Structure 1
Amino acid sequence: MTAPNPPEKTFGVEFEFLVHVDLIGLTEKQKAELSRRPKNEQVYLIAKVIEEYLEGLGLGDPVEASNGLRVTNNSRSENEDKCTAWIVKRDDSVKADGINMDPAYFNYTCGLHVHVGLGDKVIPLLACQKLYSLLFLGGEEALKPLFRLCRNNNKHCLDIRTHSSLVAPREEPPDLTGSVLGEGFKHCFPDGDGNGEERAALDKLWRAADIGEFCDLVEGGPGGRLAYWFSHLRYEDQIMGKATIEFRKAEGNLDKPGNLDFVRTWPQVCTTLAAFAMDSGPLEFERAIRAVRVGAAAEAPGTRLNRFLTTVGLPGDVVSSLMQRAEVLALEGPDTMA
């Protein structure tokens, strides 16, 4: 009997940026056209301008303004439905801090979000519990040297350790009465360590009976998005074929070779972490837990990062590139954002 092939792991990259309408090079005719249109149509026309600009860059893949921005005929195109093109979309959660802002530059203000999934399949509950536990118990902290200070714990990418519903319960938390503690819980504390807060949080996490209950447990509170966002795994996204884990921490800065390289290596980190959570056995998982917990207790941030990336299986050249980035960022002052 032939063993079934495992689902193919897939990922997508999302750049999230603010657009200053007066600075993106609209012609007088386009500006006049905008002024006559209702808000929704204005957004679509702006998206078309960005689409034309991106097409001129020769990205190698199609570029489309999302049909979802249109007032009529707004069904998703085949490219958007199958994630086979760069799609220009709208996100009302992104707000300008003031009126003095750049046009759509790919600098430190641009979010680089990576979505990891299994195509039209859903990542198993066990893998989600393992990945979340690994991040919660030290992986999130170990990865922080890869990000500028402005990307650490801001309202668009809040830390799960401090803002997840696991540690900041909502008014109506899921009822776990009678639930069974999953076998994986014991592998989170292989040496019998862990403080009371950690054990209480993961005790709840490992009692989730399905993906919906898991998402209820790990969502963040109002006023921001978590850096590691699992709510795309809910049923509504499953039926749209977009069930992914979203890694929201990175910035999409493209102004230097080192920053450009990070756009290549960070998606590899995200896909490797998800693959490790899906494919690792109990002993491998315990080894990774020990790596981040020992690191959090006794090692310098750079050493901790190196240990973590190596343990989950990233290739040596990728680890080396990421360590170089961490060293460069460590030398930057808090106000050095370029």
Structure 2
Amino acid sequence: MDEAPALDAAEAERTRKRKEKEEREEAERRAKAKKEEEEQRRKEKESADKAAQKKLAEEGPPLTADQEQARRIAMAFLAGAVASLKGSRIQIDTFTRFGINLYLTGAVGLSGERLGLSSPQVRPVLSEALELMGNRPALVSLFVDKIDEYLLEPRYLQMARHGRDAMAHMLGQNGDPFAELPGIMAEWTTPQTRPSSSSTVAIVFTDMVGSTDHNSRLGDAASRGLNRIHNTLVRSALARFDGREVKNTGDGIMAIFPVVSQAVEAMVEVQRSVANHNAQTPGNPLHIRVGINAGEPVVEEGDYFGLAVTLAARICNQAGPDQILCSGVVRDLSQGKSLYFRNRGDVTLKGIVDPQRIYEIAWADAAAAERP
């Protein structure tokens, strides 16, 4: 008669201990995911700080008198441009900032020309103006290095010309040089005028491999932690290489890049960052696949559609864990870069009539790959 209450008490105690264990394990998983996310943020900040320190160490000799004059003109121009934009409702995202950078490039370039400065002499003046606009030093260095490549794109060249026109007005004291700036930026940021069917862009899809298994094996909290790490690594590369996130697909990200080779460089950086993460946390690895295509998509209300987008998505689906696959046009448009491609032959992709030649971008053992 006395055994039943004792058995009930023992069962209740076992249930309590089991529940406590489950709660403790869940708390540990959450703490681990949070720690990994904080560690990733610390590393990103450390990397940015090192880049800034390197830039300071590499700064050249003091500015000449003409460079100082160009700097004063650039600062006055920048102040006027910022004041003009403050009254507008333009949202400063990555794409908008890129347009402003092009505008400043044209303006500073014209003032340098009038002072007889060479392009290398204009560079530190432009770099300072771009940093004052809120661009990180590492991104400024990348932007200035690639400015000649950017200006081959008619749309980007037009933004630089707007900047030159405004600087000419300011130097000639001919009315308000920034009267048209809000309208210029409004046109630049209107979705229908972003890269569309008249402009070739790179379309990128990333996808977390085994995301369903993550949920069942690790639990919701740890799975969400991996998703956050993926998003952080991809978005960091987008910011560094002038990419723009179009949308989050749940298990991945769709993005576009105005310069095709930068899309490839960005995704190589992502895979290397993922590999570093996995080396440090081997018990909770992240694996992603990437597909890249280039073309002239249709733009509607900020989203991208058409065969070029479909092909990028299908190429991503074709990739295995830790792979970056791309179309032949991406390889062709990346000629001359320090990038390496392996020919994976022709494949038939769902929804695509003709077989497509696919290339793998070698990011781990580039020496064994085929040069573009």
Q: TM-score, normalised by structure 2?
A: 0.26
Higher helix share: 2
Structure label with greater radius of gyration: 2
Higher relative contact order (CA 8 A, sep 6+): 1
Q: TM-score, normalised by structure 1?
A: 0.28
